[in-house]
Structure 1
Amino acid sequence: MMRILIIEDEARIAKRIERMTRNHFEQNIAAIAICDSLQKGLVYIANHPIDILLLDLNLNGENGFDILESMVAGSFHTIIVSAYTDKAIDAFTYGVLDFVPKPFDQARLSMAFRRITNSGKTTESTMKYLAVKKAGITRLIAIKDVLYIKGAGIYSELYLQDGKQELHDKSMEMLEQLLPGSFERIHKSYLISLDQAEKIIIRPGSSYSLLLKNGEILPIGRSRYKELKRKMI
């Protein structure tokens, strides 16, 4: 059951997005709300859990990019719905799931929604940063600095090349949909940047592990061994 927030200042467009959203998810909507300003949207998010945010980038002169870092750090997926197509590359860099250009139709919006329900990556990601919140402050972490990601229930633990760890509000499954193709799911609990992989270790009893360039060793799921081996050749 989806909980959805639309941040759009044009009432006609907001209602159109709401109608198309209901058409796509039908009975699978637990709640859907509309806010006509960034401030109202932030207040709503602070008080209500959501699964999907549909965000315009220009709201009564307010710049959606001013809070985009904060949005993509959340536990939900963000879809931009905007006429400012020149901002699409920047939006993907920050880690939005999709950028739906205005004017749009049911087919295009449904395409964005299907990316949420599809497992794994659907397109080649241009994401360059992961945004994390700590003590109310949002900070951007460069993807190139991420060594691997470990699932931690509804959260994810980011292990960085400098030895530090950060907690991300998105689950590992959600991050997997966003991350570049250089990241590979090697185990039910681990996503790894293949750039950091050194070699596969085969242990007695058909047990597999991955040696990283920094010396760390991570488990490899049996069902993922063949695909990982192929990609590392």
Structure 2
Amino acid sequence: MPIRVAIADDEAPARGRLKTLLAKMGDIEIIGEASDGDAAVNLCANPQLDILFLDIRMPEWSGLDVAAWLQERGDERPFIIIVSAYDQHALEAFELEVLDYLTKPIRPARLEKALNRARARLNPIPSSPVDFKMGLPYKERTILVAVESIHWVQYENGVLAVQTADQRLFIPWNLKQFEEKLQGHGKFIKISRQTIVNLDSLKAIDPMLSGTSILEMKDGTRLEASRSATTRLKTLF
């Protein structure tokens, strides 16, 4: 399946150069363009959009404004890749959970690296041997937890809640640290910018009129999935 992308940049030549680079990547389908921030926001309404390339300086909304708006909505997708002639906004951009930050002129190898990060996030995580255990820092100890026993994790106020089959642990991690520790083990999916669930612990999916959904987990917890995550779940079940 191709990766569907859109480009938002107020300079048509810049959009053209990026389109030329993307056309050489093979599995990329460009499904939209925008020349200002308002139009970029409208592109995000497409549930099939996987990646939005955003320039920083645009009329109406800046690229950072659009990224902040998406973060506030809590949608997992589209992933944001910032493309800018200026590197001084990188820290602010990563605080808004963008996938990557590219500086102009874009080098093909650097673009490929950013797309590989997206591919890793977009592809379903395969199942793994049931005996894999993850070490979780808890108080002054390291607790070994079988990955298949983890129902869901949720990041809030600087703490990661990890719900297992028999306990809930609060650890000083963020979601990125949890994903890195997973190392591809288990069948997990990110349903929002704050929450990851184990598909084997999912009991029911209740669709909402807004296009989001409420997931009922086997432990009874109800968690909200973003529109993009809901769309992906429909393809898995």
- Which interval holds the TM-score relative to the shorter structure? 0.5 to 0.7
CA distance in structure 2 between the aligned counterparts of 1:149 and 1:9, rounded to whole angstroms: 45
Q: Indicate yes or no: 2:157 matched with 1:146.
A: no
- The structure-2 alpha-carbon separation of the partners of 1:47 and 1:182, relative to structure 1 and needing over 3 Å to count, comes to closer
| Structure 2 equivalent of residue 172 of structure 1 | none
Counterpart pick for 1:80 among 72, 79, 82:
82
Report if aligned partners of 2:37, 2:59 keep a CA contact under 8 Å in 1.
Answer: no
Give CA-to-partner distance per residue, 1:160-216, whole Å, 9 cap, x none. Answer: 96xxxxxxxxxxxxx97xx1368632743489xxxxxxxxxxxxxxxxxxxxxxxx9
- The structure-2 alpha-carbon separation of the partners of 1:182 and 1:7, relative to structure 1 and needing over 3 Å to count, comes to closer
Partner of 1:86, secondary structure, is coil
CA distance in structure 1 between the aligned counterparts of 2:62 and 2:44, rounded to whole angstroms: 18
CA distance in structure 2 between the aligned counterparts of 1:42 and 1:3, rounded to whole angstroms: 16
Q: CA deviation at 1:46?
A: 1.4
- The structure-2 alpha-carbon separation of the partners of 1:114 and 1:9, relative to structure 1 and needing over 3 Å to count, comes to same
Give the ranges of 4+ consecutive aligned residues of structure 1 lying more than 4 Å apart after TM superposition: none
| Structure 2 equivalent of residue 50 of structure 1 | 49
Give CA-to-partner distance per residue, 1:63-97, whole Å, 9 cap, x none. Answer: 22222123343322111101221110111122111
- The structure-2 alpha-carbon separation of the partners of 1:149 and 1:64, relative to structure 1 and needing over 3 Å to count, comes to farther
Partner of 2:89, secondary structure, is helix
User: Structure 2, unaligned stretches of length 5 or more?
Assistant: 123-154, 191-218, 220-237
Report if aligned partners of 2:40, 2:66 keep a CA contact under 8 Å in 1.
Answer: no
1:87-126 map, 5 Å:
87-118=89-120
Q: CA deviation at 1:50?
A: 0.2
CA distance in structure 2 between the aligned counterparts of 1:114 and 1:69, rounded to whole angstroms: 23
- The structure-2 alpha-carbon separation of the partners of 1:48 and 1:82, relative to structure 1 and needing over 3 Å to count, comes to same
Amino acid at match of 1:38: G
| Structure 2 equivalent of residue 188 of structure 1 | 187
| Structure 2 equivalent of residue 3 of structure 1 | 4
1:54-65 map, 5 Å:
54-60=53-59, 62-65=61-64
Give CA-to-partner distance per residue, 1:93-126, whole Å, 9 cap, x none. Answer: 2211110012222122112111122369xxxxxx
Query: Could you tell me the TM-score, scaled by structure 2's length?
Result: 0.52
Aligned Cα root-mean-square deviation (Å): 3.4
Partner of 2:20, secondary structure, is helix
- The structure-2 alpha-carbon separation of the partners of 1:187 and 1:7, relative to structure 1 and needing over 3 Å to count, comes to same
| Aligned residue-pair number | 147
- Bigger RCO (CA 8 Å, 6+ sep): 2
Amino acid at match of 2:16: K
- The structure-2 alpha-carbon separation of the partners of 1:50 and 1:149, relative to structure 1 and needing over 3 Å to count, comes to farther
Amino acid at match of 1:110: E
Give CA-to-partner distance per residue, 1:105-163, whole Å, 9 cap, x none. Answer: 2122112111122369xxxxxxxxxxxxxxxxxxxx7562331389xxxxxxxx996xx
Amino acid at match of 1:11: A
Identity %: 26
| Structure 2 equivalent of residue 66 of structure 1 | 65
